[in-house]
Each structure stands twice: as structure tokens, then as C-alpha cells.
Amino acid sequence: MKKYVQAVIGIIIGAALIWLLFRDTNWEEVGQAIKNIRWGWIAVGHIPLFASFIFRVIRWKYIVRSVQPTSLRNLASATQIGFLANFTLPGRAGEAIRALVLTRLTGIPFSKSFALVALDRVTDLFGLIAVMLVAIFAFKPTQDVVIPPETFGTPNAITFPPELYRNGAIGTGLFLVIVIGAFVMLYINKKLALRIAGAILGVVSKKLSDFITGMMENFAEGLHVFRSPVDMFMSIFFSLVTWGCSILLFYATLEAFNMDYPWYTPFVVQAVLSVFIAAPGAPGFVGQFHVPVVICLIMVMPSMNVNDAKAYAIISHLIQLPPIFLLGLYFLITDNFGLGSLGSLASEGQKLSHEKGDSDQS
């Protein structure tokens, strides 16, 4: 029942964001912007897109091999099927599915697979922090940011001070640094880290404290990858490379629209977009993707036509979908999971992850 509630909530959120963004859109201008696209740049953009899939798998390899040497083929299957789930199912089901597929293909116990997925997400934060640092130090608005009325169909323009963006970006970056620091400390002195986390969170809620410390204990199972400085360095390196590919994709798409943009535009878009899509929402990040992209383009290019920004958001989202769907379906079929197996994989993965959490707390 819970997953159906999540699905409904996610669809409502996505539909609301899409309605809000496109309700006052001049579709003739959007169509003209799309008509003028330089499609050669869209093709170029697919090079870093596909490269990011490869580098993401290589990054994970340096984590997984600390438990058991595993072929890149199996890691690619787990990763792409997980991607497909995140784009078609609600509630970020892809993470549990990714762990379950790795278990099915390699025989690694699910508890360890789940910890390895979690650790991969931690190393992923290093690349995100790098992107955010560039965005924070390169983009320094000095005047109020003005979102024109036609952006969301509001009677008046939406205005917010430049400090709101900067403080939000810095706050998010500091939070990510704290998360990474917590995991490093968890490895160095697990008991002390859990005791500190429990004491701090216990002030807010005993239930929250038990939940978070339980999660930290789960993730500690995969932290032995820190025992290999080389593997840790390589996983962080490929995290930076993977995020670099995402930045190059945004550059190519901006060139496709022949925009006159500041060099730091892709960094600002990627940084804000990552915050928006971090929370569970509609399948395919519908709405969650489009709104931050449009807002960021208007922030860094105040004179930009709003409908051109909306056209950019639509195309930037659409060009990423076919590779994700095709690769995910390919691995589902070739690894004998079946085309209709995502739902059952999600149910089993979530059940196992909940059972794991319950057993660790008991």
C-alpha cells in the first residue's frame, strides 16, 4: 500500500510542477526554439552521456571488488536496470533494485550489495561537491534575481535576493561535506561516531536517532573499501570524471540552442538540479528536472527568453531518456529478468532492505 501512496504523491508533485511551469507558455516560441536546434551538438552531447554510464560502472568496480571481484558486465547490468527503475518507478526504487540485481548476478549477499550501493552514493558526493564549489565561486549574483511572470504564469515577477542562492548553495555544500565527514569518522571510529550521532539526534527525537544510527551501522559494512587508499582514490577520481561528463552534456545542449551563456552555466544548472531531484518524486523526474533548469538559466542569463529556457529544459530532459530506457531494457532481457520484472524487483528489493533495517535495529 505504501508504494502506491508514494506513486500517487510523486505523480501529483510532477503534474503540479509541469502545470505550474507550462500553464502560461507560448508554445509557438517553444516550437521555434526547438526548430532552430543545431542537432549536430545534440549528437555530440550523447558522447559524454554514454561515457558517464561507463565511468559510473568503473567507479563502482573499485568499491565492489573489495568484497568480491565482479565483471563490468554485471555491474553495468545492475546500474542500468537501477537507472531504468528510477526513471519509471516512484520513490527511488532503483537503489534497492540495483543492490538486488547485483546479488542475483554475483551471489554477493544482499546486505553487502545494499551497503556497496550506499557507499557508491557516498563517493558520488565528491563529484557533486566539486560541481557545487565551482557554481558557488564562479556565479556571484550582485542584484536581485527576477523570475518573469510568464515563467510560472504569476501576476507579478518573483524576486529573491542574491544571498538566497548563495546561502542555499553554501548550506547544501556544507551538509554534503558533513555527510562525507560522518562516513570517514564512521570508518575511523565506528563506536564514537554512532555515539555522537545518537547524542545529537536524540535531542530531536529518539526514534529519529535510532533510525539514523541504524542506517549508519548498515553503511559501515561497506566502508572497508577505505582500507584500500588506491581503490578509494580511483572511485573518487571516476566520480569527478562522471560529473564532468554531465557538465559536458549541458555544454553541448547549450551549444545546440546557440545560446550566449557564461562559462559556469552548466555548473549552476547541475548543482541546483541535483538538489531538486534528490527527493523522491514523479517517475522520470518529470517537473523536478524542468523547473530548476528553467530557473537557473534565467538566473545566469536574465535577458533570456523564458520560452527558450523552457524549450531547453524539455529537450535536455528528453535526450537522456532513450539511452536509459534502451540500455535498461537490454540488460533486463539479456540477463533473463523479463520486461515486466521491474515491479517485482522493486517489491523484493524494498522488502529485503526493510528486513535488513529491522534486523539491525533488533
Amino acid at 138: A
Does residue 202 lie in a domain region? Answer: no
Measured distance CA(249)–CA(312) in Å, rounded: 13
Query: Cα-atom radius of gyration of the chain, to the nearest Å?
Result: 21
Measured distance CA(208)–CA(62) in Å, rounded: 32
The answer to whether the beta carbons of residues 241 and 222 sit under 8 Å apart is no
Q: Is the pLDDT of residue 361 over 50?
A: no
Does residue 214 lie in a domain region? Answer: no
Measured distance CA(75)–CA(63) in Å, rounded: 11
Does residue 210 lie in a domain region? Answer: no
Does residue 222 lie in a domain region? Answer: no
Alpha helices in the chain (DSSP H): 2-22, 27-35, 39-64, 72-88, 94-106, 110-138, 149-152, 162-188, 190-204, 206-220, 229-256, 265-276, 290-300, 306-318, 321-334, 342-361
Structural domains counted in the chain: 1
- Which is higher by pLDDT, 144 or 291? 291
What range does the domain containing 238 cover? 2-157+231-361
For the segment 79-105, what is each residue's pLDDT rounded down to a tens digit? Answer: 999 998 888 876 677 788 899 899 999
Does residue 289 lie in a domain region? Answer: yes
Does residue 216 lie in a domain region? Answer: no
Please state which of the ranges 82-86, 212-216, 281-285, 347-351 shows the lowest mean pLDDT. Answer: 347-351
For residue 159, what are the β-bridge partners? 146
Does residue 125 lie in a domain region? Answer: yes
Does residue 179 lie in a domain region? Answer: no
Measured distance CA(112)–CA(356) in Å, rounded: 10
pLDDT level of residue 349 (50, 70, 90 thresholds): low
Residues 6 or more apart whose Cβ sits within 8 Å of residue 95 = 82, 86, 117, 121
Please state which of the ranges 173-177, 295-299, 305-309, 320-324 shows the lowest mean pLDDT. Answer: 173-177
